[in-house]
Amino acid sequence: MYDVIIVGGGWAGCSAALGARKRGATVLLLERTDMLLGTGLVGGIMRNNGRYTAAEEMIAMGAGELFVLCDENSRHSNVDFPGHKHASFYDVLKMPSSVTDLLIKKGVDIKFKVRVNKANLDKSRIISIESQSGEEFEGKYFIDATGTAGPTNNCVKQGNGCAMCVIRCPSFGGRVSLASCCGVSEYEAASADGHIGAMSGSCKLNKESLSENIKAELEANGVAIIPIPDELRENHLARKACQQYALNEYKDNIVLLDTGHAKMMTPYFPLEKLHRIPGLEKAFYVDPYSGGIGNSMRFIGMCQRENNLKVSDTENLYCGGEKAGPLVGHTEAIVTGTLAGFNAAGEAKGFEPIEYPVETAIGFAISMVRSKVDSVDGRGLKYTFSGSVLFEEVKKIGLYTTDKKEIRDRVEKVGFLDYFNSAS
């Protein structure tokens, strides 16, 4: 029997595993596919805007290993692009193996190609979970890090159909929510126009399929901005999960970022129009493969939870990442996953769960999202340190800064300096 079992090996699940190991728990991480990181396999953007503050808070608290690893594997750092400052782009081709190696080194047991689709309960307490193949896993505490992207039927119903994205539902089976297996009521994000969920906010192009001058600009500067002729413009801004990029610059231009692939900051763009833009005549989608017509749907099936990340009305289930609310981004997933793992391991050993102090940006964010999703309007918004309503509030109350000493002093003032390494 494991102290902590985590379902879902995206950024939230990986950080939860490390958080749990910091308390000496035995940890099993179950991943539905054959690789870790989930949407992080094609993501790559770190430290932009308030994410810099959040990352440095976590480092000061003693739980910054994944941020340091991203820094070590960054192709570009301190990059500005429309609406964003001081961003870093990690190499999506290197990070999966780097994270896997780190987790194994830290003593995390990992099982791939395990699709959990059943929970065995004693009232509101999970006793064990089972995979589609019938394998059973017993644990003391569990973490739902299954995310909210897909499965295929949601992309068909709410989006433009299965776009063959990195979630890879046809190959490994669709995402199954552990919370829903426990009978926990979940909620959906709905926009003002009635759309359920939101499309993943970017596509990836093969850099080798771009013109030599665009490729050279990307590799030199980390960003390339290509004007779109008026007659070719598409406006999908309202459908994006990443509302921090819902700016006119992304409607009027093709914005490319170098993450190993050429990350195109739009949910989708018709291929026949893309090929009419100078320099993109031979552009080739690598994620999603049908990026000319659509993208994966997210924010369908989130958990009501406490600020300590325990799922409401359950005894031994925590959540992280998008399961913890309409939080957008890798940084946000790491922050929530770490706390979920740390608290699950703590409870398994008889300790009370903790919360991040609200005097920190990460504590404020988790508290803000929980309060906002109690309303229908609040559920329709997206929250991220890098833009939109959350970043504006973080700036308004004076928590946004890139001064590492100021951040460290703030963390020390609330008694959390190196907390995750020193707590019993």
Return phi, psi of residue 262, to 5°.
-95, 105
pTM of the entire structure? 0.96
Measure the CA–CA gap between 412 and 417, rounded to whole angstroms.
Answer: 5
**281 and 373 fall within a common domain:** no
Number of domains observed in the structure of the chain: 2
The three-class DSSP label of residue 414 is coil
Q: Is there a domain that residue 292 lies in?
A: no
Given a cut of 90, is residue 357 above it in pLDDT? yes
Residue 244, amino acid: Q
Last residue of a domain, one of 262, 287, 312: 287
Chain CA centroid to CA 244, Å: 14
Nearest to 10 by CA among 34, 35, 38, 29: 38
CB contact at 8 A, 79 and 222: yes
CA atoms within 13 A on the CB side of 33: 20
**169 and 258 fall within a common domain:** no
**139 and 220 fall within a common domain:** no
Nearest to 205 by CA among 277, 260, 125: 260
Q: Which two tokens stand for residue 303?
A: 């958990």
CB contact at 8 A, 256 and 214: yes
Residues in the chain: 424
300 against 6, higher pLDDT = 6
**153 and 214 fall within a common domain:** no
Return phi, psi of residue 208, to 5°.
-70, -15
What is the bridge-based pairing of β-strands 27-30 and 2-7? parallel
DSSP secondary structure of 158-201? HSSS----TT-HHHH-----HHHHTT--EEE-B-TTS-BSEE-S
Is the preceding omega at residue 151 within 30 degrees of 0, hence cis? yes
**26 and 48 fall within a common domain:** yes
**325 and 232 fall within a common domain:** no
12 lies in which domain range?
2-195+297-422
Last residue of a domain, one of 228, 257, 287: 287
Q: Which two tokens stand for residue 16?
A: 């939860």
The three-class DSSP label of residue 283 is coil
Return phi, psi of residue 319, to 5°.
-145, 160
Task: Please report, rounded to a whole number, the percentage of residues in the chain having pLDDT higher than 70.
Answer: 97
DSSP secondary structure of 330-380? HHHHHHHHHHHHHHHHHHHTTPPP----TTSHHHHHHHHHHHHTTSHHHHT
To the nearest 10 degrees (0 to 180), the angle between helices 388-396 and 50-61 is 70
Please tell me the predicted confidence (pLDDT) of residue 94.
Answer: 97
Q: pLDDT tens across 162-184, in order?
A: 999 999 999 999 999 999 999 99
Question: Which band of pLDDT confidence, cut at 50, 70 and 90, is reported for residue 347?
Answer: very high
**Mean pLDDT of the residues in the chain:** 95
**6 and 116 fall within a common domain:** yes
Nearest to 353 by CA among 307, 411, 414, 418: 307
**240 and 132 fall within a common domain:** no
**37 and 144 fall within a common domain:** yes
CB contact at 8 A, 143 and 4: yes
**250 and 395 fall within a common domain:** no
Strand-pair partners of 254: 226
179 against 376, higher pLDDT = 179
For residues 61-81, average pLDDT: 98
The three-class DSSP label of residue 117 is strand
Chain CA centroid to CA 326, Å: 10
Q: Is there a domain that residue 109 lies in?
A: yes
Nearest to 328 by CA among 52, 87, 45, 9: 45
**379 and 363 fall within a common domain:** yes
Q: pLDDT tens across 44-61, in order?
A: 999 999 999 999 999 999
Output DSSP code: residue 80: E
Q: Is there a domain that residue 220 lies in?
A: yes
343: domain CATH number? 3.50.50.60
Please tell me the predicted confidence (pLDDT) of residue 235.
Answer: 73
**243 and 165 fall within a common domain:** no
Nearest to 296 by CA among 118, 80, 149: 149
Q: pLDDT tens across 401-420, in order?
A: 999 999 999 999 999 999 99
Chain CA centroid to CA 158, Å: 20
